[in-house]
Amino acid sequence: MYIKIKTIRTDNEDKFQRGELVAEWEREGINNKPNITFSQYQNGVAERAFQDIVTHAIYILNDANLPVTLWYEISRSIVRLKNL
């Protein structure tokens, strides 16, 4: 089964805006649509979930005056609670 890629969404880094990769996409008829820089509305579901976990972990560390060394355990606990 052959599926034609019509559009690739990339972040706004230089490596995705010029060079051989973009030239290849153009030859293949693939549109490159870069995201707007620092636009949270164009982030994917996974990026938003990750941001949510990080934000919660920071709040817990600050509110409970816990050391940063507990970052891993707190993040795992947040993920576990979100998956329940």
**Distances, alpha carbon 66 to alpha carbons 50, 75, 79, in Å:** 21, 13, 18
CA 19 to chain centre: 23
- Domain ranges for the chain, please list them: 7-39, 43-83
Per-residue pLDDT at 44: 72
- Which amino acid, one-letter code, is at 63? D
**Is the pTM above the cut of 0.95?**
no
Q: Are 75 and 57 in contact (CB under 8 A)?
A: yes
What tens digit of pLDDT does each residue of 34-59 get? 777 666 666 677 778 888 899 999 99
- Write the DSSP assignment of 44-73 as a string of letters: -HHHHHHHHHHHHHHHHHHHTT--GGGHHH
